[in-house]
Structure 1
Amino acid sequence: MTQYTNQYGQPVGAPLPEWQSRSWPAYETFTGHYCRLEPLSAERHGRELYAAYAQASDGRDWTYMFAEPFTDEDAYLAYASKIEQGRDPMHFAVIDLQTQRAVGTLALMRIDTTHGSIEIGHVAFSPLLKQTRMATEAHYLLMRYALEQLGYRRYEWKCDSCNQPSRQAALRLGFQFEGTFRQAIVYKGRSRDTCWFSIIDGEWPQLKQAFERWLAADNFNEDGTQRAKLQAQR
């Protein structure tokens, strides 16, 4: 690793003489092989999303979310109306290209254009979306947008330290674990230690190739079983 020093002989970070602030993300539509991301709309997506979430047998998918399980469709529609078209977070609906129905949401958030940092969060995937090619592709589409198209330097993932599935998902997707912020948040009447993960711009080209190899149709058997895991593609 190259060591940089200033005029006093002190170690400093790598110079970025051409760095400029990045653009704020836009509410665009992103289309992949298996899913499409659209700006969340309570009117267009709300009823489909509530129906998708209602397929879960209980409310455990909301344990580590800031929202609570929704008691009825009207409650979810009110929630979706509140968060749609927000500036930060910016929520997107995940559309299954086979059924053309919304099956989950995720959001870009904690957007810092000055330093080129952005977080993926509010990941609410229904049983129709979890552990599918669509789920991986949805993350890939937003990573590509932030790191490649917009030129952000840092793409973050944060979760409750107790949320083991989220921690495993971050590692599978190529995020690097950075540490735990103790007693970082109080939510739902309890304390939260927050685990931090990130992908930086220099890691993106290799990760992009791995995603594209994994998402390729020939990586799956006729029954949809993957031939090679995403981690193996890296």
Structure 2
Amino acid sequence: MDHRLNEYGQPIGLPVDLPLPRPAPPHQVLQGRYAVLEPLSADHAEEFFDVFTDPAGWTYLGEETPFADRQHARDWTAGKALSRDPLFYTVMVDGRPVGFLSLLRITPQAASIEVGFIHFSPALQGTRAATEVQYLLMRHVFDDLGYRRYEWKCDALNAPSRRAALRLGFTFEGVFRQALVYKGRNRDTAWYSILDSEWPALRAAYERWLSPGNFDKDRRQRQSLGRLIGAASG
């Protein structure tokens, strides 16, 4: 039962036994086995300019890029480094910046937060590190900060993003029609979420998937994340 009745016989939500508001996320390093999340810095601009060269990679992001030149990259990165919502992290692999993502729509009063503005270079896409950084942020949000809800939203036409959300264990909640206008075009927004009650099973699945024993000498997975999530959730 997901509700109770008040003194008038009306259904109302269950009480929330959680001190609110929750803490705002600190901008700190999150260390993984295969990758590190660092607070995005202007120092990462040169590498960003070198790895984000494909215009198609920016289609569903809310800004007109890629960078026109290195100064543009430096100005853009310096501005993002100052932002606190979105709160940007750089993905570091072997000491090099290879992507970025952010926590945004940070709502401590409701213990809700979104992951978004995700852009991974071709060298990062499809790797263990790409999955691990998603796990690092989830673990930080649920275990360190005690949030109740973790959101993923994307353009409903962005099929790779929608597939990624499902692979990562998010639950599809629906499409908000004509939710935004960006780059002069309509955006219907697909919504996904993970709740704190779902996190323990997901965390166990991620940790099994990320274990070195789940990969052969060529870094090919032995068990898929989807299979492990299904087994843990079932």
Query: What TM-score bracket applies, with the shorter chain setting the length?
Result: over 0.9
Unmatched tracts of structure 2, length 5 or more = 230-234
In 1, the alpha carbon distance for the partners of 2:218 and 2:68 equals: 35
What is the identity, as a one-letter code, of the residue corresponding to 2:16? L
Which amino acid counterpart does residue 167 of structure 1 have in structure 2? Answer: R
Residues 6 and 62 (structure 1), Cα distance of their counterparts in 2 relative to 1, 3 Å cut: same
Q: CA deviation at 1:33?
A: 0.4
User: What residue in structure 1 maps to residue 10 of structure 2?
Assistant: 10
What CA distance in whole angstroms lies between the structure 2 residues aligned with 1:178 and 1:77? 37
Does the 8 Å contact 1:105/1:124 carry over to 2? Answer: yes
- Cα deviation digits, residues 59-96 of structure 1 (max 9, x gap): 11100001222222221111111111311000000000
The aligned amino acid for 1:35 is A
CA distance in 1, matches of 2:89, 2:165: 19
Q: How many residues align?
A: 228
Give me the identity figure in percent: 49
RMSD, matched Cα: 1.1
> What SS is found at the alignment partner of 1:165?
helix
- After TM superposition, the structure 1 stretch with the greater mean CA deviation from structure 2, 164-173 or 19-28, is 19-28
Which of 162, 169, 172 matches 1:167?
A: 162
1:66 aligns with 2:62: yes
Which consecutive unaligned segments of at least 5 residues does structure 1 have? none
Q: Which residue identity does 2:28 align to in structure 1?
A: E
**1:51 alignment counterpart:** 50
Given that residues 2 and 13 in structure 2 are in contact (C-alpha distance below 8 angstroms), is that contact kept between their aligned partners in structure 1?
A: no
- Give the TM-score taking structure 2 as reference length: 0.94
Would the alpha carbon gap of residues 19 and 211 (structure 1) be closer, same or farther in structure 2, given more than 3 Å must change?
same
AA of the residue aligned to 1:169: A
3-state SS of the aligned residue for 1:202? coil
Q: Deviation digits for residues 132-160 of structure 1, max 9, x if unmatched?
A: 11110111001111111100000000000
Deviates further, 62-71 or 211-220 = 62-71
- Structure 1 range deviating more: 124-133 or 14-23: 14-23
- TM-score normalised by the chain length of structure 1: 0.94
SS in 2 for 1:143: helix
Q: What residue in structure 2 maps to residue 157 of structure 1?
A: 152
Aligned-partner Cα distance in 2 for 1:219–1:32: 16
Partner-residue secondary structure (3-state), 2:113: strand
SS, match of residue 15 in structure 1? coil
2:130 aligns with one of 124, 135, 157:
135
Where has structure 1 moved over 6 Å in runs of 4 or more? Answer: none
Q: Give the conservation status (yes or no) of the 8 Å contact 1:93–1:104.
A: yes
For 1:223, give the aligned amino acid. Answer: D
SS at match of 2:216: coil
Asked if the contact 1:39/1:85 (under 8 Å) is kept, the reply is no
Residue 31 of structure 2 is aligned to residue 31 of structure 1: yes
Deviation at residue 118 of structure 1 after TM alignment = 0.3
Which whole-Å deviations, capped at 9, do the CAs of 1:26-74 have from their partners, x for residues lacking one? 001010000000100012x1111221223xxx31110000122222222
